């Protein structure tokens, strides 16, 4: 029988690759019992993983900054080849190569019908919305693996039109499962448009994808802020301006040196709840980035917040933050009539159009985020390198299919 191997959380700072059962066309027990759904999933497919990426959101779990249990399988950025098709799957065939949105969605509930697939009502009994391999997200097996089951496949999967072309561009296309749509969502909901100026907080892969997306949307100047020199250089490599937050200098003043004024038209938080204060060696201060973007965004601006905020953080700086309550200066945002967009990116809202840009050679997102291919067995060491600030997007190639 075919085996399966998956990356597993083993405790703070530790992951391992372990063998698990080969997936079946069945829903997780948590979903079945919690929502009263049938166990059998003829609407599902089994994918042989072509590529699966390490995400900054995974790092929150691996650092021990969530309530993820030891043994939690990891991985929600998945691209794969269909190898088994359920009886009720109508439009997919074995051999199709598809992108898997990290949001698991039924395609039938009110939220899905409103294109809000990040908060589907029928895939997680604990709360709206689900994802593969993530804490409190429904018990779905992670995709940093050799094989994975995808439910409601006709609705969820984005099939690439040409297999050979897809494999040729796989390092760009693998970003469609999460960070490219997520970064685009951040920039788009912040209101980035032709000629606008934008500030992106964070030069990790999502921040870089947001900066790249802001350029696609027509921004005249994109400024990226971070404390990691290598990541700032990566942002500069595709035309962004940068500000070094480790300097301790005032953010508005640094922006003014670039734009001639301390304000931008749109701002994006691509950092989330593990934010730190400004200056070298600054302590953790989880509201820093949210307060920064309200400060530097002009009146009437939009704020895109794809950075992750959680309701359970055992490693937080105080008891309030452990429950997701942080010191946000909401009065500033209210006084400036800012609009805020938070939550999971609804990947399906954007992924087809972004795929078309990639296939037309108009979006080299892999180069922008510095994609690097690794084997499944190299994942644990790559998690550690990423945690130390590597300016790299690690792409796992479990079966050696990446050219």
Reduced 3-state DSSP string for 235-247: HHCCCCEEEEHHH
Structure confidence at residue 403 (pLDDT):
83
Question: Is the pLDDT at 1 greater than 80, yes or no?
Answer: no
Structure confidence at residue 3 (pLDDT):
86
Range 15-26 average pLDDT: 98
324 pLDDT band, cuts 50/70/90, is very high
Report DSSP letters for 101-168, one per residue. Answer: -SB---SSSHHHHTT-GGG-SSS-SSSS--BTT-TTS-SPPPSSBSEEEESSHHHH-EE-S-HHHHHH
Q: Rounded to an integer, what distance in angstroms lies between the CA atom of residue 10 and that of residue 7?
A: 9
**pTM of this structure:** 0.97
| Structure confidence by residue, pLDDT tens digits, 209-236 | 999 999 999 999 999 999 999 999 999 9
Range 2-14 average pLDDT: 95
- Strands 241-244 and 197-201, sheet pairing: unpaired
| Structure confidence by residue, pLDDT tens digits, 85-134 | 999 999 999 999 999 999 999 999 999 999 999 999 999 999 999 999 99
| Structure confidence by residue, pLDDT tens digits, 369-385 | 999 999 999 999 999 99
| Structure confidence by residue, pLDDT tens digits, 290-317 | 999 999 999 999 999 999 999 999 999 9
**Domains of the chain, first to last:** 4-178+347-396 (3.90.180.10), 179-342 (3.40.50.720)
Q: What is the mean pLDDT of the chain?
A: 97
Question: Which stretches of 317-392 are assigned E, i.e. beta strand?
Answer: 339-342, 371-374
Q: Which of 315, 378, 355 is nearest to 12 (CA)?
A: 315
Structure confidence at residue 191 (pLDDT):
98
């Amino acid at each position: 029988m075919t085996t399966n191997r998956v990356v597993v959380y083993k405790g703070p700072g530790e992951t391992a690759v372990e063998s698990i059962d080969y997936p079946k066309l069945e829903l997780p027990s948590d979903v079945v019992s919690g929502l009263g759904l049938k166990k059998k999933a003829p609407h599902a497919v089994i994918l042989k993983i072509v590529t699966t990426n390490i995400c900054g959101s995974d790092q929150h779990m691996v650092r021990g900054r969530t309530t993820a249990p030891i043994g939690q399988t990891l991985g929600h950025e998945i691209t794969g080849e269909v190898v088994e098709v359920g009886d009720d799957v109508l439009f997919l065939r074995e051999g199709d190569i598809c992108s898997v949105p990290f949001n698991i969605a039924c395609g039938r509930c009110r939220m899905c019908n409103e294109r809000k697939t990040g908060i589907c009502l029928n895939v997680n009994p604990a709360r709206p919305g689900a994802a593969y391999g993530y804490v409190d997200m429904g018990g779905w097996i992670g995709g940093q693996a050799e094989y994975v089951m995808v439910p409601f496949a006709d609705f969820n999967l984005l099939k690439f039109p040409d297999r050979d072309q897809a494999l040729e561009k796989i390092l760009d296309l693998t970003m469609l499962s999460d960070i490219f749509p997520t970064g685009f969502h951040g920039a788009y909901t912040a209101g980035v448009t032709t000629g606008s100026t934008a500030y992106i907080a964070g030069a990790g892969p999502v921040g870089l994808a947001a900066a790249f997306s802001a350029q696609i949307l027509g921004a005249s100047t994109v400024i990226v802020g971070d404390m990691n020199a290598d990541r700032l250089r990566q942002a500069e490599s595709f035309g962004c301006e940068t500000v070094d937050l480790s300097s301790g200098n005032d953010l508005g003043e640094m922006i003014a040196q670039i734009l001639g004024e301390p304000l931008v038209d749109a701002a994006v938080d691509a950092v989330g709840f593990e934010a730190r204060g400004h200056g070298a060696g600054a302590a953790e201060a989880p509201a820093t980035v949210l307060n920064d973007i309200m400060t530097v965004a002009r009146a009437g601006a939009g704020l895109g917040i794809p950075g992750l905020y959680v309701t359970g953080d055992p490693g937080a700086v105080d008891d309030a933050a452990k429950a997701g309550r942080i010191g946000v200066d909401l009065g500033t945002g209210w006084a400036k009539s800012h609009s805020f967009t938070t939550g999971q990116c609804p990947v399906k809202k954007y992924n087809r159009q972004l795929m078309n840009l990639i296939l037309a050679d108009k979006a080299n997102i892999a180069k922008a985020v510095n994609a690097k291919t690794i084997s499944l067995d190299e994942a644990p060491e790559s998690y550690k390198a990423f945690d130390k600030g590597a300016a790299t997007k690690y792409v796992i190639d479990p079966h050696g299919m990446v050219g």
